[in-house]
Structure 1
Amino acid sequence: MSHSSVPAGRKPRAKLRLTPVERKASIALALLFAVRMLGLFLLTPVFAVAAQALAGGSNAAKVGIALGAYGLTQAIMQIPLGMASDRFGRRPVIVGGLLLFIAGGVVCALTDDINGVIIGRTMQGLGAISAAITAWVADVTRPEVRTRAMAMVGGSIGVSFAISLVASPLLVGSYGLSGLFWVISALGLLCLLIALFVVPDAPQGPVAAMQARPREVLGHAGLLRLNFGVFCLHFILMSIFIVAPAMLMRLGGYASDSLWEIYLPIILLSFVLMVPAVFYTETRHIHHTSLQVAVAGLVVVLALMPLASQSFAAVAVLLVGFFISFNILEALQPSLVSRTSPSDLKGLALGVYNTAQSLGVFAGGAVGGMLAAYASMQTVFLASSALAFCWFLVARAGRQDNVSA
């Protein structure tokens, strides 16, 4: 017990314990983030198919723009709203953003034209509150437990997407596309209630934030790599779901309202296999190694997808692999941002990170839609694999820099 190696092994575990207040705040903020992301993700699994009922919905390029449109306005607004939350407080900014999200959902619910959906999704993106939420997590947690709290928020993205894969086909089958948008607006209202009445207050610290030099974030090599990574991850996610629903329907003989029968076992299995990897990464502090392995997994899975595109079983297995990597990366990257960014620049750093994420959503939807419309389904997967490989090279270079330092 007196050996120095024993306390060294036990000390990190004690530091990783959240206090009751930290636990309550982290869970509430993760729930807020998850419900809002669920409202965004519900559209992804079936929109490419369901949009055909809209005027102009047979145009794959427009479908891609509608799917990723909110990402463009989010990219524009993330940094201004992140900095506004530093100055005026997290809660007011988040409440205002949620009101815009709800209004955009209502516009989408009332339209019967693909152009109307593009307008509504653009309005939803104006409520860019991801940076404010993650900064709020940093406000209410100590530095030594912040990684785990950030991982909870990052992991909630994967959970939300998993739920959307199952719930979206059921909702569209029962209530149609308009009904799905009403559900999305209702989820925005639920988020509003959580933000107003559940999440505790936290110190703002506006002076440090206002004196921060953006150059220290915008030119930080580690943060630039993480920003590029989240751009790639969401580009890939949005682009492949332009073509994946139709492919699964064709191979498995499913209707759009029964796609959940495919998604549910895939998601459950991927989560069962993902959780031990995230736990091992957190306890062993091998975040960068795990990130590289997960990105390499994306490269392989996406490259194999065109070869497996005529086999339902092979596509299902590859999708399990995709979601294992996706969920690991969604949990790891926000925690790495919180560890890498300067302590007095967290609002700006998280704003830039979420801007990159939003740009990935928009670019993935737009480019994926154009590739599907003017090239082929296989091209979408191969282009995504190539982007993941570029990400792997960037992550590997960052790892080598850390070792040499």
Structure 2
Amino acid sequence: MQNNIINGAICGYMMRAFDKNQFRILSLVSVTIGLRTLGLFMVLPIFTLYGEKFTGSYLLIGTALGAYGITMALFQTSLGRLSDRYGRKLIISIGIATFIIGNLICADPINIYGLILGRLVEGAGAVSSAGIALVHESVPVNRRNISDAIIGVAIGLSFMLGVIVGPLLATIFNYSSIFVIAAIIGAISFIPLWKVKETKKEKMFKIKAHIDSKLAVISIISFFIYFYMIVFYLYLPVFSLKYFPVSRFYEFLIPVVFIAGIIGLAIARPADKNKTVLFSLVSLIVLLISVPLFFLNTHVTDVTYFALSVAGFYSGYIISETVFPTLITRLAPKNSYGGNLGFYTSMQHAGVFFGAVVGGLLIIKVNHDIPIMIIIFTLFVFSIVLLYFITQFREIYLSNNVE
């Protein structure tokens, strides 16, 4: 019922905001990205248990968990630039194929180092920037926040479905089967991608290597957001088990993601009306507030408080996914969207890798949540300072975007 409401709300926004061709491209790209991320999220709830089959070292397990982030970070910029030159669909197709191979390696890795290798290969298919660039080239400049919100909701729904279905499939089959299923889902994601009609103009862009200092600062902020994201996912199963078994995570995730998705969509329209910087600040403040709410769960036993803390994270995260890519495309020349979005997403996935490693080390060596809470809280205070440094909290207008 709730999924139908979400889908209806998304379709309503899309039909009003985009013409038929824009609607088609946004829908197909959202499905492609959503299917691919579904494969990533399915393994999150069972990854530690799977890693324990190969090693007793939680540092190595944490490295395997975050390994895909470092190769995504390394390849996002280069693949984004290649998509500027050779076309989005070709580069996205190569990325999906790499993702499939990586999952098949993870399904039968022999040892923990094979699992790390599989995750590295999985992350090498880093095509988020090419997908976002394809959408941004296809929709009006004053509708990009809405398009990013819809992609963000697709990713959020993939996470919700993944953490529900992953443990259930592991119970029915086994842990390694989750990676095989993720590879199959990756193969299915070719179908909507092939239905996208890419224009000749999109294929003729030249490679631009320059990354503006303001773009670099926004990308650093994205590093901090994703650092928090992976640590959030690392702790979420631990905190959730106080209230629900893994098989019942959906009882709080469905309403929480639904509420956060509606908030993200509601903010997209005013953000498009020259309030992108304002809502970038709002996203950072909401995430900042959610940090102590979430990590102090160890001292609170109220399930309502827990749901509120998770909702705070998701709301701030989805808002950030709505507005920060638009800041990039407002600052970047149109013929280098892929390269600049590639650098942006590279920093995001670098945050995934370092967040997983640092979070894992603190769990192992400190065995409580206060140090990581302080680190992340400080990062978001610094992020707000950085946002002021590049914008003075004033709007970045579309006139800055030149061909």
TM-score by length of 2: 0.86
Q: How does 1:102-117 map to 2 (within 5 A)?
A: 102-111=100-109, 113-117=111-115
- 1:155 and 1:228 mapped to 2: Cα distance? 23
Match of 1:244 in 2: 236
Q: 2:216 aligns with which of 215, 224, 237?
A: 224
For the structure 1 residues 294 and 52, does the alpha-carbon distance in structure 2 shift closer, same or farther, using more than 3 Å as the test? same
Q: Which residue of 2 aligns with 1:96?
A: 94
**Corresponding residue for 1:36?**
36
Secondary structure of 2:296 counterpart: coil
- Out of 73, 78, 85, the residue aligned to residue 87 of structure 1 is 85
Amino acid at match of 1:96: I
1:126 aligns with 124
Shift of 1:352: 0.9
Q: How does 1:180-195 map to 2 (within 5 A)?
A: 180-195=178-193
Task: Name the CA distance, whole Å, in 2 between partners of 1:130 and 1:404.
Answer: 23
Partner of 2:200: 203
Q: Is the 2:67–2:119 Cα contact (8 Å) retained in structure 1?
A: yes
- CA deviation after TM superposition for structure 1 residue 107, in Å: 0.9
Shift of 1:36: 1.1
CA contact (8 A) 1:108 1:181 kept: yes
Q: 1:151 to 1:262 in 2, by over 3 A?
A: closer
Indicate if the aligned counterparts of 1:109 and 1:178 stay in contact, CA closer than 8 A: yes
Distance 1:62 1:335, change over 3 A: same
Once residues 153 and 263 of structure 1 are traced to their aligned partners in structure 2, the CA distance between those partners, rounded to angstroms, is 18
- Identify the match of residue 377 of structure 2 among 355, 361, 385: 385
Q: 1:305 aligns with which of 294, 317, 326?
A: 294
| Bigger mean CA deviation after superposition, 165-174 or 366-375 | 165-174
Q: Give the 3-state SS of the residue equivalent to 1:139 in structure 2.
A: helix
Alignment of 1:223-372 (within 5 A): 223-249=215-241, 251-252=242-243, 254-282=244-272, 284-312=273-301, 313=303, 314-372=305-363
Partners of 2:259 and 2:203 lie apart in 1 by 44
Tell me the CA shift for residue 276 of structure 1. 2.7
Shift of 1:381: 2.8
**TM-score (ref. length: structure 1):** 0.85
- 1:142 Cα offset (Å): 4.0
Could you tell me how far apart the structure 2 residues matched to 1:325 and 1:203 are? 37
CA distance in 1 between partners of 2:266 and 2:136 (Å):
25
* CA RMSD, Structure 1 to Structure 2 (Å): 2.6
Find the aligned partners of 2:395 and 2:261 in 1 and give their Cα distance: 31
> Do the aligned partners of 1:51 and 1:114 also contact (CA within 8 Å) in 2?
no
Q: Counterparts of 2:147 and 2:306 in 1: how far apart (Å)?
A: 34
Distance (whole Å) between structure 2 residues aligned to residue 65 and residue 102 of structure 1: 20
**Aligned counterpart, 2:3:** none
Q: How far apart, in 1, do the equivalents of 2:151 and 2:139 lie? A: 13
1:329-379, Cα deviation, whole Å (9 max, x unpaired): 112222222222112221211111111112111111121111211123412
Q: Which whole-Å CA distance do the structure 1 matches of 2:185 and 2:74 have between them?
A: 23
Would you say the 8 A contact 2:222–2:348 is kept in 1? yes
Q: Is the 8 A contact 1:40 1:184 kept in 2?
A: yes
> Contact 2:103–2:122 at 8 Å: present in 1 too?
yes
1:36-60 deviation line (CA, Å, top 9, x unaligned) = 1222222234423x3354221x433
- CA distance 1:20–1:331, shift in 2 (3 Å): same
Q: SS state of the match for residue 308, structure 1?
A: helix
Tell me the residue number matched to 2:10: none
Give the letter for the 1:380 counterpart. I
For residues 39 and 150 of structure 2, what CA distance do their matches in structure 1 show? Answer: 18
1:295–1:325: 8 Å Cα contact kept in structure 2? yes
Greater shift after overlay, 100-109 or 79-88? 79-88
Corresponding residue SS for 1:117: helix
What does 1:385-404 align with in structure 2 at a 5 Å threshold? 385-400=377-392, 402=394
| 1:209 aligned partner, one-letter code | K
Mean Cα displacement is larger for which, 136-145 or 231-240?
136-145
CA shift digits 1:97-138 (9 cap, x unpaired) = 111110111111123643322111101111111122122223
Q: Secondary structure at the match of 1:55?
A: coil
Give the Cα–Cα distance (whole angstroms) in 1 for the partners of residues 31 and 324 of structure 2: 18
The one-letter code sitting in structure 2 at the alignment partner of 1:229 is I
Which amino acid is 2:314 matched to?
F
Measure, in 1, the Cα distance between the counterparts of 2:306 and 2:142. Answer: 41
Identity of aligned residues (%): 24
Q: Is the 8 A contact 1:101 1:188 kept in 2?
A: yes
